[in-house]
Amino acid sequence: MSPQIRAFIWDVDGTLAETEEAHRLSFNEAFAAAGLGWDWDRAAYRRLLLTTGGKERIRAHANAVGLALADEQIRALHADKTRRYTRMVAEGRVALRPGVTEMIAKGRAAGIAQAIATTTSRPNIDALVEAAFAQPADRVFDVIAAGDEVITKKPAPDVYLLALSRLELAAADCIAFEDSRPGAASARAAGLRIVLTPRPIRKAMISARSTG
């Protein structure tokens, strides 16, 4: 590892772990409980992933189907979805991506700080890290910057800039790990080098967008 690298900054959903199916199922459970009659299948969810942020995704879908939801309704739906998602994670239904644990351990051994910069909310981060590492998130990661701490989510650079500020490091000293175009755009706008590790769901999205 290059001695110039002083921190790894990790995205969460799709990068640290294969979370998207658990998120999708949690959304659908929350919609059913609220009597909305919405059911996001995998194809629909792939499209919705182009909108970053859970509350933003709910609003985008509501607008698309012509339903006006108040801010408090969206917050309540998202809070219920988050409760359901964190329960799934605690039950062991979400796995880290291959090589993640080893990469974090090798970075630690080389004196490289570990950070998170994600659009997901802090409760989701805490649940995933606790389940995967059997430790609190702030014992595994030196810095955590969550989506609910910034005004503008990815592809804006805000959450990466927040992570860099908390690390007290320049972008040139860090590498971002991402799985999506919005995430890569966010990291690039913050001046970071990027390792892009798309999964099948993201590869399909990138291919579809590249071919029109």
The DSSP call for residue 50 is: T
Do β-strands 113-117 and 143-145 pair in parallel, antiparallel, or remain unpaired? parallel
Residue 179 annotated to the active site: no
Q: How far apart are CA 123 and CA 109, in angstroms?
A: 28
Place of tokens 């755009």: 185
Residue-wise burial string across 27-54, b where 16 or more C-beta atoms lie within 10 A, e elsewhere: bbbbbeeeebebebeeeebbebbebbbb
Bridge partners (DSSP) of residue 196 are 178
Q: Which amino acid is at 194?
A: I
Q: How many CB atoms lie within 10 A of CB 2?
A: 8
Which of 13, 80, 158, 179 is catalytic? The answer is 13
Query: Is 13 known to be catalytic?
Result: yes
In this structure, the number of other CB atoms found within 10 A of the CB of residue 160 comes to 29
Active site members: 11, 13
